[in-house]
Amino acid sequence: MFTQRQVSGNKGKFFSAPHTFFLVVLFAGLALRFAGTPIVSADMKWFLLPWFSQIEPEGFGSLAHQVGNYGLLYQTLIALLTYIPLPAVFLYKFVSVVFDVALAFSAALIARRVTGTGWREKPARMAFLAIMFLPPFVINSGWWGQCDSMYSLAALWALYFLYERRYPATGVALGFAFALKLQTIFIMPLVVTVYVLRRRWPFPELIYAAGVFWGTGGLAYAFGRSLLAPLTIYAGQTGDFPKMVVNAPSFWYFFPDNFALLAKPAVVVCAAILAIGFFAIILKKISIDSWQQYLATSAWMIWTCFLFLPAMHERYSYLLQVVLILLAVAFRGYWPYLAVETAVTCVTYAKFFHLGPGVVAPLVVAELATWATFTSLIVHRAHLNSLIADK
């Protein structure tokens, strides 16, 4: 039996400032998101709602054939939603918002572990606050109805598990991330770099990743879909928008929009820049042994993919912003980079709500300059760390 003093103490602890803070931020963030529920974006009107209408009559039976261009896991989720007697717009947004909350708590938890602090301290609070309140996160799910928080959640945990050498968990997280969205490819340069640096063969985590990736389509296979469907869907996505720039502040904005001519050279340019970073790490010019260096390198590689690959959409910087939040709340000197990326994203998002032209030359210059400054910061700090180590 608890004494009255013990009960009162436990109650006081539960309703202490940290819990109050997270609850207030949570409900305020949810209110901001659901305020945008009535908005039907262009993507919702032309893609998501028609997909829902095609899937609804058959329910899970619709998994026998491809509807839309998302993976089997997302199509399965939409099929599940059709059994809930609520408006499709709300259902889409509700699921994305649930993942927003999971992402916010995950970022707060990882910020705690990175800094060795508690829930009462700034890193966890600021990480949670940023994801619940920064406009790109609010708009992406509650207003636009997009689902970037889903794959970003799995990709974030994959990065965390990889640093902590929890390799089976890394494989599982990667499998879920790839099952949700192809943009998970942005973290693969870092994953490959870490495995080469640690001289580790990626086994059995490759088995776990492949098992989860294909396993999430299990219900679709039961309705007759091919085991190759997860791959053919993503192969088809690469040709959905044959443009060098799709409203993203890309390096290729300043070049003629000739996808047939420039797409492959763009991939080569991106790979060459990433290769420089890869060899700098392998040759020990840059270390990724600390959380700060590891997260900064993660952000740089994701950012490089976003800026230099062809056919990038504005939403593809979503995971970059999550990593920048962790850097900003855990270490000094990263808030300006998050601020610029947030501002640029807001301007590009505004196009879809008829509030601006989208990506323009000054915006691209600001983005590229910020990336270049971030690159310089990583190199400079690596040099300082080397000098300290030599002493």
The three-state DSSP-derived secondary structure of 206-260 is HHHHHHHHHHCCHHHHHCCCCCCHHHHHHHHHCCCCCCCEECCCCHHHHCCCCHH
Residue 388: its pLDDT value, please? 64
- Kind and range of the H or E run holding 163: helix 148-163
Angstrom distance (rounded) from CA 107 to CA 155: 12
CB count within 10 Å of CB 360 equals 13
Domains of the chain, by residue range, sit at 19-237, 242-391
What is the full DSSP assignment across 37-80?
TT---HHIIIIIHHHHHHHTTTGGGGGGS--SSS-HHHHHHHHH
Residue 386: its pLDDT value, please? 66
Give the side-chain half-sphere CA count within 13 A for 340. 18
Give the closest residue to 180 by CA, choosing from 198, 158, 202, 207: 158
Nearest-Å Rg of the Cα atoms of the chain is 22
What is this structure's pTM? 0.94
CB count within 10 Å of CB 307 equals 23
User: Is residue 216 a contact partner of residue 179, using CB atoms and an 8 Å limit?
Assistant: yes
Residue 237: its pLDDT value, please? 85
Residue 241: its pLDDT value, please? 85
Residue 260's contacts (CB-CB under 8 Å, 6 or more residues apart) are 242
Angstrom distance (rounded) from CA 216 to CA 212: 6
Q: Which residues pair with 316 in a beta bridge?
A: none
Q: Which residues of the chain have pLDDT under 50?
A: 1-15
CB count within 10 Å of CB 213 equals 23
Give the closest residue to 215 by CA, choosing from 170, 181, 168, 175: 175
Residue 117: its pLDDT value, please? 96
What values do phi and psi take at 96, rounded to 5?
A: -65, -40
User: Is residue 162 a contact partner of residue 194, using CB atoms and an 8 Å limit?
Assistant: yes
What totals of helices (H) and strands (E) does the chain contain, helices first?
Answer: 19, 2
User: Is residue 107 a contact partner of residue 322, using CB atoms and an 8 Å limit?
Assistant: yes
Write the single-letter amino acid at 125. Answer: R
Give the closest residue to 238 by CA, choosing from 309, 290, 187, 175: 309
Residue 240: its pLDDT value, please? 79
| Distances 227 to 66, 79, 217, 220, 240 between C-alpha atoms, Å | 13, 19, 8, 9, 22
- 3-state SS class at 285: coil
Angstrom distance (rounded) from CA 240 to CA 263: 13
Write the single-letter amino acid at 48. Answer: L
Residue 282: its pLDDT value, please? 96
